[in-house]
Amino acid sequence: MTMILISREWLLEHLEDPQVVIVDCRFSLADPQLGKQQYQTSHIKGAYYLDLNQDLSSPVGEHGGRHPLPNPEELARKLSAIGVVYQQTLVVAYDDSRFAFAARLWWLLRYLGHEQVAVLDGGYSEWQKAGYPVTDIIPELRTGDFIPQIQTQMLVDRQTVINQKDLPEVALIDSRESDRYLGIREPIDKIAGHIPGAMNYPWQEATDSTGYLLSPSEQRLRWSQVDNAKEIIVYCGSGVTACVNLLSLELADIHTGKLYAGSWSDWISYC
């Protein structure tokens, strides 16, 4: 299995490794400037910052959801500028939100064909608790060479969801909190509810309360009801936290997961 999860101890030993690029993905949906402000105040030594809205998404349109996928060529240029060499450099992504944003970068890199990407278990808060090196120094840009090779099979669109969601061999997974799935509460989108036929697997259940991912055996148990599906289509509100469930599936050694990137916010844009 490709390295998916990095311990803080491993990363500490590889802070100066030229084949490792660390990316801070901290972000707040409620305060879009907060993540960058936190990074500028304190981050893991040598880490660069990529912003969910500015770097890991495209501008919002009529359709496509609240966080459309970024332009591959633009993201490739940004990755090259921080020293990422396609299929050579190990990218380690971290956040402080139980992988809500780090998993987005993890998935995007794999979607662009770069398998050398992992997330930092425990995130930034656990790194700090260990007393490991942090700084406010912004690292200088580096020279990389990232040429994306898009893996189209990892992605589905709204029409594909419509065509396949009721097939017995397909599992449609809603990754949002249960009250949003049930339509009891909807703090972000204009319409509450879920896509008909979807099952609810809240993304937070892939981790424990301190931000560590559950073990592979626990992840397999979590997905035991759908592990025989030929295709598992995963969505959330805007294609961000769904990536935590896709990460969970990979840890469970289940490789049939696909992202409906537009997710609920795209689905309801046609209503």
Cα 36–Cα 39–Cα 43 angle in degrees, nearest 5: 165
Please give the order of strands across the beta sheet that includes 20-24: 5-6, 117-120, 90-94, 20-24, 48-49
Q: How far apart, in Å, are the Cα atoms of 196 and each of 25, 151, 158, 223?
A: 32, 27, 13, 20
The beta strands (E) that lie in 25-136 are given as: 43-44, 48-49, 90-94, 117-120, 134-135
Cβ-in-10-Å burial (0-12, 13-18, 19+) of 93 comes to buried
Respond yes or no: is residue 236 known to be catalytic. Answer: yes
The catalytic residues are 236
